[in-house]
Amino acid sequence: MKKSTLLLATTIPGLAAIGSGLASSYFYNYAFKSLERFPKGSASNPTEDTIYYPSYHWFQDQPKEDWWLNATDPENKLHAYFIPNPKNTKKVAVIAHGYKGSAASMAASAKLFYDDGFTVLVPDDRAHGLSSGKYINFGWLDRLDYADWLDHLIARLGTEIQIVLYGISMGGATVMMMSGDPLPPQVKAIVEDCGYTSAEDELAYQLKRSFKLPKYPLLPMVSRINKLVLGFSLNSVSALHQLKRNKTPIFFIHGEADTYVPTQMCYQNFAATDAPKDMWIVPHAEHAKSYWTDPETYHKRVNDFLNRYLD
């Protein structure tokens, strides 16, 4: 073999490896790095002409407390808004926001539960809102933080409270992943809206959808990066795995027209648990738009489910 041919044969695999490494690093930062600012018009930063603004305005004006975990540790401090309801402090909704969102982006959900007589706790997940962190963990570490928030709620409001876990998109995945861990008896029901089956499934789907790229070899490399940065591999982050251990009643909601977290994932999540359960596929609803597509029916469906399990 000529020297030039041998050099080419050894260089091409090397270049391919370098290219894959650069691509995986780019995709990791694209998918995992926190936002520096919220886009104008988003649910976290709505303009007056958006559907989010009335509930966002209510949320900003509502009397509330700032709660903190790890308050003296700048790199690990976590924030939540606590909104006590003068009508009822025994029913509590813990509300988990979506990917690259914030507690404020869940204003409509907070108002929905508050108007139904719930006290509300809305955390900012790691690397979101007022909480510390640079990289998003897709709910896997957040689920542990929410367990700490539950302890704070019970310490503040007493052991007689009844708690509902509610989340949309990544928040939906977060509360599903919580369901496989030991939960305090005060948690009576879970409502998840358009959560994914696993971080690996969702990222593989987005690689294909947005970049026209296959799962291999990029996603295993991204997983290795995340193991170094956040301490866990992507195959750990599985709602499906956690739901198999779930015993808490759970209501699955998903938009029929969801192309961001494909609707098929809802059917998979539903099938994964043997706990008391119900499912509603919302006609014509896109990702995280089920409430906005049909607010009255959404409200009724959630209420009907929760009334089975709360006093």
pLDDT in tens, 69-101: 999 999 999 999 999 999 888 999 999 999 999
Identify the structural domains of the chain with CATH numbers, from first to last: 52-198+237-306 (3.40.50.1820)
Of residues 250, 92, 84, 87, the one with CA closest to residue 164: 92
pLDDT exceeds 80 at position 18: no
Q: Which two tokens stand for residue 207?
A: 């690689």
Q: Could you tell me which residues come within 8 angstroms of residue 139 by beta carbon, excluding any fewer than 6 positions away? A: 96, 125, 170, 171, 173, 174, 177, 199, 237
Q: How many CB atoms lie within 10 A of CB 222?
A: 26
The length of the chain in residues reads 311
Q: How many CB atoms lie within 10 A of CB 162?
A: 19
Least confident of 78-82, 158-162, 211-215, 271-275: 211-215
**CA R_g for the chain:** 21
pLDDT band at 11 (very low <50, low <70, confident <90, very high): low
The pLDDT tens digits for 234-288 are 999 999 999 999 999 999 999 999 999 999 999 999 999 999 999 999 999 999 9
pLDDT band at 12 (very low <50, low <70, confident <90, very high): very low
Q: Could you tell me which residues come within 8 angstroms of residue 201 by beta carbon, excluding any fewer than 6 positions away? A: 265
In the sheet that holds 91-96, the strands lie side by side as: 65-69, 78-83, 119-124, 91-96, 162-168, 187-193, 250-255, 277-282
pLDDT exceeds 80 at position 180: yes
Q: What is the mean pLDDT of the chain?
A: 94
d(CA 93, CA 84): 11
pLDDT exceeds 90 at position 58: yes
What integer pLDDT is reported at residue 89 of this predicted model? 83
pLDDT band at 211 (very low <50, low <70, confident <90, very high): very high
Global pTM value = 0.94
Of residues 174, 45, 51, 56, the one with CA closest to residue 106: 56
What average pLDDT does this structure show over 17-39?
Answer: 88
What integer pLDDT is reported at residue 6 of this predicted model? 44
Q: Cβ(96)–Cβ(174) under 8 Å? A: yes
What integer pLDDT is reported at residue 248 of this predicted model? 98
d(CA 76, CA 190): 27
Of residues 111, 80, 77, the one with CA closest to residue 96: 80
Residue 70's region, left for phi above 0, alpha for psi from -120 to 50, else beta, is left
What average pLDDT does this structure show over 150-162?
Answer: 98
Which amino acid, 171?
G
β partners of residue 162? 91
DSSP H helices, the chain, are 3-32, 53-61, 107-115, 142-157, 170-178, 199-211, 218-229, 239-243, 264-272, 290-293, 295-306
Q: What does DSSP say about strands 65-69 and 78-83: parallel, antiparallel, or unpaired?
A: antiparallel
Q: Which two tokens stand for residue 33?
A: 């790095």
Following DSSP, what letter does each residue of 220-267 receive, concatenated?
HHHHHHHHHHTSS-GGG-BHHHHHTT--S-EEEEEETT-TTTTTHHHH
